[in-house]
A and B are shown apart, each in its own frame.
Chain A
């Protein structure tokens, strides 16, 4: 274990260095490519970040300008395809209506998400604690997941009050990723740590609370990140299924209603709000994920070591 062998392998065993001497041009190009992938100075890191923000915005701006230009130049009527300007106008003009609908959909989504989080984690813990319960119920969780929610929604709307049916749809779509991920996490406990807990006579509760749940946390958060988007989808699907028959006034209901009335600008405006809501949900959950894991889990650590 002297210093000599590593020094030797550093000189002779490094193919890039050998290549540098023989043929400079290909290597320098390789380095430039590498620099784009892995920024290695703070300045390059900043430029990298700026590009990541600026480029999508530029693409968006170009797309919107083209869209607006096509609509104006070829005089497309707004009930066929409204331009972005018109959509924005509608969004502002109809804000009192759309804003209320947004709130309704968001509340449903949040409720569905919370139920999915509690239900998914709760079921996973239950399955983990009792094999009999797992064997009895897991197949039905899978069936619930693989049956398309669009097909279940009309039935739920018959048997449940509309608000409950919408909530049930959001829950059905969203709980499974939480359940599956949490189950995986609870089963991924370090075996030596588990032995250590046994050695010190830890109770089942202590093992669950101090070992299994913290071990599973990264998996749970990953499941929740998926569930956030899915509960929005579940809420929207149920609102659409409820359609004009329901008294609901969520964003999806607005879209369906505007469709019947050929109010295409309002359809686009509602759609825009839905997308923004989905993106915000995703980033809020990502932020929570980062804040909870940044000090210890590989997934949330920075590139610096």
Chain B
């Protein structure tokens, strides 16, 4: 079902080979997952709950060790260089006792970045997500969407090569989600970063991604892949276009097949 991949020739940023994960309780979350993430891609992992998409993301991030298989970082410094990773959780996951500024500054503090450049970098990250005026505010004082923006700013402040996002907009209302989708695409284009985005929304994944990996459950595995034209012209118009509708239809179909293959939950 996949179209010719334009970035197929570039060396992958990260490559998963036969990755499996068995939790301590004996539950098998992933089995034989092969996945290449190439520089500049916007890859969505799409699938029903229990298909291991979040587990795969955590394994890429190094937050969880695979039980089987290997994760390789062929290009550049590799995973040892933690500053090249950004992670956005489903919840904003901000420190409630710290201002927005200090929350965004956290990754730089933890990596002992010299103080001279820190303030400028934090300001730039806040500016990028449109929170400049709120840098003194505490997370409690912000709306859900603004908290998520702060969380994204924190992930971007280290200028990561790879941004991992675990259903970041799932808890937000639709209007906020659409705006953040657009803003995220704009950041992706201007920063030329690579994004792996976990979602269970067909519409969101089609809107954002250059490639969708549809996953099936029991055991969690990659079921099929769909590749779309580079999402350069994605805007409100695209959201209502026939192309978008067709892409959503194809993706929904693939997801339905994947769910049938995974059995009923």
Contacts and interface: CB of A to CB of B under 8 A. Distances in A.
Q: Do A and B bind each other?
A: yes
B62 A199 contact: yes
A210 interface: yes
Contacts of B120: none
Contacts of B138: 295-296
Contacts of A138: none
Contacts of B82: 199-201
A1 B177 CA distance: 12
Interface in A200-217: 200-202, 206, 210-211, 214, 217
A100 B114 CA distance: 54
B95 interface: yes
B93 A196 contact: yes
Interface in B56-85: 58, 61-63, 82-83, 85
A217 B97 contact: yes
Contacts of A214: 95, 97-98
B127 interface: no
A197 B111 CA distance: 10
B110 interface: yes
A255 to B, nearest CB: 43
Contacts of B58: 195
Interface string B131-159: 00000001110000000000000000010
B63 A195 contact: yes
A204 to B, nearest CB: 12
Nearest to A1: B174
Contact of A1 (B62, B106, B173): B173
A192 B174 contact: no
A200 B110 contact: yes
B110 A202 contact: yes
Interface residues of A, number: 21
Chain B: interface residue count, which band? 20 to 34
Contacts of B158: 200
Interface string B82-103: 1101010101010111100000
Contacts of B87: 195-196, 199
Given A199-B82, A214-B97, A296-B138, A192 B107 contact: no
A97 interface: no
A108 B109 CA distance: 41
Given A1-B173, A199-B82, A201-B111, A193 B95 contact: yes
Contacts of A202: 110
Give the interface centre of A197, A199, A217 by most chain B CB atoms within 10 Å.
A199
A297 interface: yes
A301 B140 contact: yes
Give the interface centre of B83, B93, B97, B106 by most chain A CB atoms within 10 Å.
B97
Give the interface centre of A190, A198, A200, A296 by most chain B CB atoms within 10 Å.
A200
Contact of A192 (B85, B89, B139): B89
Contacts of B83: 200
Contacts of B111: 200-201
B201 to A, nearest CB: 12
Interface string A134-160: 000000000000000000000000000
Contacts of A217: 97
Contacts of B97: 214, 217, 295-297
A28 to B, nearest CB: 35
A193 B58 CA distance: 14
A202 to B, nearest CB: 5
A200 B93 CA distance: 14
A296 B173 contact: no
Given A195-B63, A199-B61, A199-B87, A296 B93 contact: no
B104 to A, nearest CB: 12
Contact of B63 (A198, A206, A297): A198
B174 A199 contact: no
A210 B109 contact: yes
B96 A200 contact: no
Contacts of B140: 295-296, 301
Nearest to B99: A295
Contacts of A195: 58, 63, 87, 89
Give the interface centre of A190, A196, A295 by most chain B CB atoms within 10 Å.
A196
B91 A200 contact: no
A305 to B, nearest CB: 10
Nearest to B64: A195
A200 B106 contact: yes
Interface string A91-134: 00000000000000000000000000000000000000000000
Contact of B110 (A190, A197, A295): A197
11 contacts: A1-B173, A195-B89, A200-B82, A200-B106, A206-B110, A210-B109, A214-B98, A217-B97, A296-B138, A297-B96, A297-B97
Given A1-B174, A199-B63, A301-B140, 8 more contacts: A192-B93, A193-B95, A196-B89, A199-B62, A199-B82, A200-B82, A200-B83, A296-B140
